[in-house]
Chains A and B, each alone.
Chain A
Amino acid sequence: MSKTMTQQEALQEYLLRLADSDMILGQRLCELCGKAPALEEEMALMNVALDLVGQARNWYEYAAELIDDGRSADELAFRRDAHDYRNALMVEQPNGDYAVTMGRQFFFDAWHYFTIAALTKAPDERIASIAAKAAKEVQYHLRRSSEWVKRFGDGTEESHQRMQTAVDDLWRFTGEMIEADEVEQTLFKAGIGPDPEQLVADWKGLVNEVLAEATLTPPPEDAWMYRGAKVGHHTEHLGFILAEMQFLQRAYPDAKTW
């Protein structure tokens, strides 16, 4: 980010981060359609995915208005390439087994929960109202994913092992997700979004509590963290996600309606 980043620029960037993370996680959950381990889970996964894509749409719509360069919410979602996407690295990771799916969801939900809670208090009314609607949804997501982490951790020997592996493998994507950069610092000063230090403390507190209850071992404090999503440097997965998600826009560039 340049030194002259205005609050307006920070806000546009931030809205895209919120929208893109929701969108990409929703997309990952869509991949599981018809493949969930039980019919009840089929319902629940689609429910969470619906919430996330719905939230993404709200954030994209507001972002489109602020960016104001003629692009619609759909164009922001379906016509940007990977280097312009700003989702957390966490959400683009593959579904893996159900322990990975739920571990990824839990790490994200914990961040999402505290972030959305803070955004409900934003002086920007549009943000506050989108966040207020999302808050109830996200609370349910977090309750559900933390329950699954506990079930797996303190379930059978196999599920414990799978969950521990998932936690260990996904851990390296948590650092960037919870740590604020200039964009988040700038917005926090304007009253938008969580206190960066508080967010890290809250997230770690909650995660450690759930992992302990799940009889899982938290990764070491000084574990290496993978970074880059906030400036558009993603893992190799995102390109393939977008190739699929944006297939129709790419194959039919002249189409004005669907």
Chain B
Amino acid sequence: MVRAVPNGIRIAAYAFVALTMLLLLAPLVVVIGVSVSESQFIAFPPNGLSLAWYRSVLSSDAYLRAAALSLQIALMVTASATVIGGAAAIALHRRNLPGSAVMATFFLSPLVLPTIIYAIGMLMLWSTLFGGVSMMTLWLGHTVICLPYVVRTTLAVLSESDPFLEEAARTMGANRIQRLVHVVVPQCLPGLAAGAFFAFNISFDEAVLSLFLRRADMTTLPVQIYGQLEFSPDPSVAAVSTIMIGITILLIVVIDRVLGIKRFAST
């Protein structure tokens, strides 16, 4: 047996990983640090410790309205993307439609098309057809970009499920609807759940589509933050951002509990 890795390289590897994690996490740590600062100005390392900026966020109409809109859209999108994407994945998994492979690629294609191109198309189409954007535009747009995640997680779960379970239900006399409701949907439940959480996260954090499909009375939380950053950021932006980071961490923990994050890590 040869020595697996020379010691020098092993130490270098640990140092390298530590530095990379520092690079990846530094901006998040900084944002959290700024949010608890006492200072009127954005400063890192923070001076003092205070939750005053959280209080100012929670009493700011603009932030609360933006948060309510983001939450509303994210919930609507989670529902629509999970139902539509889950149904499509169940059918795609059976591979009994002509061009199933092409169709699978089609369902995943919003993933590889840069959002800015799609956002422009949506803006222009809606302006031409309806004279402007609306909640409907945001809802449909977000659903389209979240759909591939649900399709992918559901397909991943189905590919490991027992294909004979549905056959067994059929021989025992279950009809189509019964098989779908009592056998197939429970089989893909972990995939649907993970997809739903991904959809929520992506919609809640999405900024590009929401910036293009913006209307004065339709400002989502990321758009509100972007506006603040362009104009005059104060530590209240950091407080909102920290809340968003907290929600993301929560979602990751939930996805990991439901399904194991590893299974969806490789893109």
Are A and B physically bound partners?
A: no
Residues of chain A having any CB pair with chain B under 8 Å:
none
| Chain B residues within 8 Å of A, Cβ to Cβ | none
